[in-house]
Amino acid sequence: MDPYRNPFAPGAGSRPPELAGRDATLEAARISCGRAIKGRSARSIMLLGLRGTGKTVLLNEIGKIAQEEGLLVSKVESPERESLARLLYPEMRKVMRSLSGIQAAKQIANRGLKGLRSFASIFKIDIAGVEVGVEPEPGLADSGDLQYDLPDLFDVIGRAAQAAGKGWILLIDEVQYLSEADLSALIVSIHRMSQEGLPVLLVGAGLPQVARLAGEAKSYAERLFLYPAIGALDQPSAIQAVEKPIVDEQATIEPTALGEIVDRTRGYPFFLQEWASIAWNNAEGPEITLDDVSQSYAETLASLDAGFFRVRIDRLTKSEVQFVKTMSELGDGPYAMADIAKAMGRTQSSLGPTRANIISKGMIYSTDHGYLNFTVPLFAEYMRRQG
């Protein structure tokens, strides 16, 4: 079939042609945005899920919804070992400059720009390009403690946005990479916005441990956010995600072929896109048959192994690879730490640093006290394929 007409999008963060099974999450975001603009209490959101479940796609969709609702949108990805102050500074500056161009918000936003000058100076952020003549604002965002300074800056943005009849939504991907202190400062800031009824929202996306990390940072985080689980698609949604794009291109897929893709990928969105895309390219058409799908399976696995799975394992040291290999040899998770230690002939305490390093790299997470699992769906199968 014509590869130019292939509707599937297996790239990282690429929007699938049919965003199936996520309506409730998107509607919750739309309601939060609409309420924020109207000055009503609105819940911020943390999207939690494994790799390849479409969290980044949802963040982008929520950004579009927020723009439609009248909010200014900032999106950042939290890289490892990067401070939140450096990450947010350019976005806050951009938002304040935008608001300073609106007459009703000009005075507040200009005060915020002065506060940002102090903030940049105290957190040693490169401020090349900041307007000449912008003097620091004494007493605003100049304490050097992010838990005090960040809420103050959010407050100024919130009040300027409110005066302008707008709002601000901050989208943060890979939240699990924020330090505890930075996550705490972010939560304090959003709590302030909620208390003051200001039109500022946070939508974060991260691995399943983010809910626990947020709770450990600030106990009230549990009540501050909605925590929708972004997991595998249920069967009707998975079928829709594969079948509708094919039909929209005036092609068809045999029910048995469709069932094979849905069952063997277990409904994980990235895997659905990958296999459906390869089956489309390999099919003569205009119908994708069970033979097409079956013959595309080995190519799909090879593509996933060389890309989606391989990039994860390449980040690990030899001892860390041995740790995750041992996990995979125990079957499918969750895995008891005691069983991993026993299989490796080690004590649990001696494996503590290795475990912590692999968690910090986003490869595994703690599902419960004493238990671990992979953050990448079907990763244990991949490790077992490697022999």
pLDDT digits (tens, 9 = 90+) for 144-154: 889 999 999 99
Q: What share of the chain is helix, strand, coil (3-state, %, to 5)?
A: 55, 10, 30
CA atoms of 128 and 54, how far apart (whole Å): 36
Confidence (pLDDT) at 246: 96
Q: Is the domain 234-312 a CATH 1.10.8 member?
A: yes
CA-based nearest residue to 198, from 69, 35, 28? 35
pLDDT of residue 312: 86
3-class DSSP assignment, residue 367: strand
- The closest of 180, 183, 188, 128 to 153, measured between CA atoms, is 188
Q: How confident is the model at residue 128 (pLDDT cuts 50, 70, 90)?
A: low
Angle, in degrees to the nearest 10, between helices 146-164 and 180-196: 40
279 vs 223, which has greater pLDDT?
279
Identify the CATH assignment for 316-385 out of 1.10.10.10, 1.20.1250.20, 1.20.1260.10, 3.40.50.620.
1.10.10.10
Strands 371-374 and 364-368: antiparallel
The pair of three-digit structure tokens given for residue 254, joined into one six-digit string: 């045999």
- Average pLDDT in the 52-78 region? 94
User: Hey, what amino acid is at 345?
Assistant: G
Distances (CA, A) of 380 to 45, 187, 313, 315: 30, 34, 12, 16
Cβ-Cβ contacts under 8 Å for 222 (sequence gap 6 or more): 211, 214, 215
Residue 103's pLDDT band (cuts 50, 70, 90): very high
Yes or no: domain 23-226 corresponds to CATH 3.40.50.300: yes
Q: Does the pLDDT of residue 134 top 60, yes or no? A: no
What ranges do the domains of the chain cover?
A: 23-226, 234-312, 316-385
* Structure confidence by residue, pLDDT tens digits, 163-191: 999 999 999 999 999 999 999 999 999 99
Helices (H), 283-315: 290-304, 310-313
d(CA 138, CA 189): 20
Model pLDDT for residues 277-308, shown as the tens digit of each residue: 999 999 997 999 999 999 999 999 999 998 88
Q: How far apart are the first and last CA of the chain?
A: 35
Contacts of 339 (CB under 8 A, 6+ apart): 330
Nearest by Cα to 160 from 103, 210, 202: 103
Show the CA angle centred on residue 202, arms to residues 200 and 208, nearest 5°. Answer: 165
**Closest of 237, 376, 61 to residue 45, by C-alpha:** 61
Count of Cβ atoms closer than 10 Å to residue 138 Cβ: 9
Query: What 8-state DSSP symbol labels residue 3?
Result: G
Distance (Å, rounded) from C-alpha 323 to C-alpha 208? 20
Which has the higher per-residue pLDDT, 223 or 153?
153
pLDDT exceeds 50 at position 133: no
Average pLDDT, the chain: 91
User: Hey, what are 16's tokens?
Assistant: 């699938």
pTM across the whole model? 0.90
Share above pLDDT 90 across residues of the chain, in percent, rounded to a whole number: 76
Q: 156 pLDDT band (50/70/90 cuts)?
A: very high
